[in-house]
Amino acid sequence: MQTTRTLSLGRNRGDYGQQTDRELEINLTEFMIWTGPRVSEAMAIAWEDVDLVAGTVEIRRARVAGQYRVTKTRRSTRKVKLLTPGLRGLQAQARFTQHHGPELIEVVDRDNRTVREQRARCVFHNSATGEPYRSSNVLRHGWWITHLGKAGVRQRGPNTCQHAFASQMLSSGIATPERIADQMGHTSTAMIFKHYAKWTSEDGPDVVSLLNRALKLS
């Protein structure tokens, strides 16, 4: 029996939704919006990197230009503690791909010469082909563009998920720029300030109320 779910681009991006039977893509999108990886990193996550009990995922490779590669920088290799919706996306995905046998993949090191073999069970597969996602273009042109069009949402790339994550964390008033940079694998907070310099105070939290609660002043 086929089910449908609704894709939302994040509570601070508008309540846009559209039903779809592409469950695997919804799981991928929910994971990205609430965890903040690069699209290339999300596509390279294997079940060997995931601990559903502890609620963590280790991001240690990416799928770039048709190749598996180690993460962009050493700091980009990181273990992430998942927020509830991000974990929910992985839990929902488990019944589709966790039982698959491992495939032998080759991972290119940062020197662009060393290649190491790994056995991995890719988490996110293409609903249409049943195969692991190999590039963001396949996701974008095979489902993403069509889905946004049906939902009446202005076109933007799958990397919007990472931006949605960062903006939601900033809007919370709880996660610091340093914490967000660590989660997203940036080497410093410079990228956070560069991309979100236009973030307006209207979108932010009521800092005074947060301080009153945190310091028990009321």
pLDDT reported for residue 62: 96
Three-state secondary-structure class, residue 59: strand
pLDDT at 135 over 70: yes
Q: In this predicted model, what pLDDT tens digit does every residue of 169-218 receive, in sequence order? A: 887 878 888 888 889 988 888 878 777 655 544 555 666 676 667 667 76
Nearest to 10 by CA among 173, 162, 154: 162
The answer to the question of residue 110 being in a domain is: no
The answer to the question of residue 35 being in a domain is: yes
pTM of the model: 0.83
d(CA 61, CA 76): 9
The answer to the question of residue 155 being in a domain is: yes
pLDDT reported for residue 10: 41
- SS3 sequence of the chain: CCCCEECCCCCCCCCCCCEECCHHHHHHHHHHHHHCCCHHHHHCCEHHHEECCCCEEEECEEEECCEEEECCCHHHCEEEECCHHHHHHHHHHHHHHCCCCCEEEEEECCCCCCEEEEEECECCECCCCCCECCCHHHHHHHHHHHHHHHHCCCCCCCCHHHHHHHHHHHHHCCCCHHHHHHHHCCCCCHHHHHHCCCCCHHHCCCHHHHHHHHCCCC
The answer to the question of residue 154 being in a domain is: yes
User: For the domain that residue 93 is a member of, what is the CATH number?
Assistant: 1.10.443.10
pLDDT reported for residue 134: 87
The answer to the question of residue 70 being in a domain is: no
Q: In this predicted model, what pLDDT tens digit does every residue of 49-80 receive, in sequence order? A: 999 999 999 999 999 988 999 998 888 899 99
pLDDT reported for residue 177: 85
Nearest to 70 by CA among 96, 98, 49: 49
pLDDT reported for residue 16: 38
Total number of domains in the chain: 1
The answer to the question of residue 210 being in a domain is: no
| Domain region containing 29 | 5-61+75-100+121-161
Q: In this predicted model, what pLDDT tens digit does every residue of 141-174 receive, in sequence order? A: 999 999 999 888 899 999 999 988 988 888 787 8
The answer to the question of residue 115 being in a domain is: no
Q: In this predicted model, what pLDDT tens digit does every residue of 76-101 receive, in sequence order? A: 899 999 999 999 999 999 999 999 99
The answer to the question of residue 204 being in a domain is: no
